[in-house]
Amino acid sequence: MPIATETKATNLKQLVESGWESKTVKQEIRDNFLARLAAGDELYTGIVGYEDTVIPEVNIALLSGHDMLYLGEKGQAKSRMMRGLAEFLDEEIPYLDLPGCPFHEDPLAPISGVAKEFRKSHSDAETPIAWWHRDDRYAERLAPGTKFADIIGEIDPAKLAGGVSMSTEDALHFGLIPRMHRGIFAINELPELDELVQVGLFNILEERDVQIRGFPVRFEIDVMVLFSANPSTYNRSGKVIPQLKDRIGSMIQTHYPLTRDAGIEIMEQEADIDLDGDYPVRVPYFMREICEQITIEARKSKYVDQQSGVSARFSLANYRTMVASARQRAVIHKETPAVVRISDLSHLYTSSLGKLELDLMGSHQMSERQVLESLIAQSIEIVFKEYVSEHGLDEIAEIFAKGVKIEVGDLIPSKQYAERLKRVPPAWEKAFEVNASSDDAVRASCVEFVLSGLYAMDKISRAQSHGQSSYEI
């Protein structure tokens, strides 16, 4: 039961009189989850595209009181989903504020020797209470390099040197999981966790106790444990001990966005770019579609290692890059606002190279740059076909058959497009379902889209030199 700030207890007597009830962390999460579900409140902030797939499975796991494994490729919001579960914790919970106490003890059910001995010799009014905020009740650890002492504990040699007996609790150094007693602990990349540490998790997941080097006292730790893993390593024999897999209550399988629109929504949400300010930038929807389509094409390309996956961060980095290119043009040419155009994609190498892992069997010695160029061309063609009818293409192609040559580039001022297009009537607008307004920057973006689309479909030719392109029939 959350306690209002103005009535927070400072000692155990006040806490008991307030009516506070002791709960396990999973009971607390389940109760708060049910309250939000019944009220129709948003359950998982910032999660897009999982409404009918992942979220229902997480809901059932929470109601079941399970520890969970999030299984999915990189960039599928596994860590975000795990961190979001902390929102189902009470805003604050009370704990025994005792010197030397290793845990945030439940005031009504202490587990450490320090807390138990204190309670025997002090009244409720003499037992101090402090409050633990939910932001501090979630801890996360990356598996590679993690040792037993890091997350479970070890006998502390410094304490032994100071005269503490090995047979006492005071000789122990507790790891992250015991110190997250009454909280949530998450381990990323579970298959990379040392086998000895995996064995150490057996008791925590099953009996909820901690055993350190045969120390005779067992601590009944109250903690929700979460894991994340990539299918390619999790399913590899010997990477995760079968007994540990058996003790994980629910496996939640994540996925990449099922639709392009969902991917675009994620891309814009995570980019968190201010498109206004002193040098505003506008992003036509077809450019957002192309940016996300590049990622979609990469995820099914025979040249890309599909076991590695293509993260949502690929779209995110590319989106930021093309916006940055447009903003640079805004500064140099005083365009207000600048409008993202196809030529801004020429800088995607900087944000893409290194994020694509090539399939050495399928790439046939193609370089990463060549693969990216192919993905961009495929994406432009796919989106362009959706926007432009075949009749419109023929009409536009006839215009270029008359010998019109148009040069484009990310640093060419938009107003120059109007000058270079004097001989080109607006016939393409009839088949072009985007805003072909009279604004020079918008029109320049639309023109580049049409030209690149015609080139992708082999309707016109293109020559490239020093970052600029010339289109002609």
Q: Which helix (H) or strand (E) holds 184?
A: strand 183-188
pLDDT at position 132: 97
Q: Any idea which of 7-21, 127-141, 222-236, 397-411 has the lowest mean pLDDT? A: 397-411
> Among 2.60.120.260, 3.40.50.300, 3.30.365.10, 3.40.190.10, what is the CATH number of 5-253?
3.40.50.300
When pLDDT is cut at 50, 70 and 90, the band that residue 389 belongs to is low
| Residue 204, C-beta contacts closer than 8 angstroms, at least 6 positions apart | 152, 177, 210, 221, 223, 225
Amino acid letter, residue 471: Y
Structure tokens at 306: 């599909």
pLDDT at position 165: 52
Whether pLDDT at 217 is above 60:
no
Whether pLDDT at 157 is above 70:
no
pLDDT at position 56: 97
Neighbouring C-beta atoms of residue 257, cutoff 10 Å: 22
For the chain, give every domain's residue range.
5-253, 260-472
The pLDDT tens digits for 231-278 are: 989 988 789 999 999 999 999 999 999 999 999 999 999 988 999 989
CA angle (234, 237, 242) in 5-degree steps: 75
Whether pLDDT at 224 is above 80:
yes
Whether pLDDT at 164 is above 60:
no
* Closest CA relative to residue 472, chosen from 425, 422, 408, 427: 408
The pLDDT tens digits for 281-339 are: 999 889 999 999 999 999 999 888 887 888 889 999 999 999 999 999 999 998 888 99
β-pairing, 138-142 vs 183-188, is parallel
What average pLDDT does this structure show over 449-458?
A: 83
* Closest CA relative to residue 129, chosen from 151, 109, 106: 106
* Rounded percentage of the chain residues whose pLDDT exceeds 70: 82
Whether pLDDT at 213 is above 80:
no
* Per-residue b or e along 310-321, where b marks 16 or more CB atoms closer than 10 Å to that residue's CB: bbbebbbbbbbb
When pLDDT is cut at 50, 70 and 90, the band that residue 431 belongs to is very low
pLDDT at position 73: 92
The pLDDT tens digits for 93-138 are: 999 999 888 889 999 999 888 899 899 999 999 999 999 999 999 9
Q: Which helix (H) or strand (E) holds 291?
A: helix 285-300
Whether pLDDT at 425 is above 50:
no
When pLDDT is cut at 50, 70 and 90, the band that residue 4 belongs to is very low
Mean of the per-residue pLDDT values of the chain: 84
* Per-residue b or e along 106-135, where b marks 16 or more CB atoms closer than 10 Å to that residue's CB: bbeebbbbbbeebbeeeeeeebbbebbebe
The pLDDT tens digits for 433-446 are: 444 556 778 878 87
Whether pLDDT at 452 is above 90:
no
Q: Is the pTM here over 0.95, yes or no?
A: no
Signed CA dihedral, 74, 78, 79, 80: sign only: positive
Q: What are the distances in angstroms from CA 134 to CA 25, 28, 61, 416, 433?
A: 11, 12, 20, 57, 49
Amino acid letter, residue 182: R
CA distance 89 to 25: 8
Whether pLDDT at 430 is above 80:
no
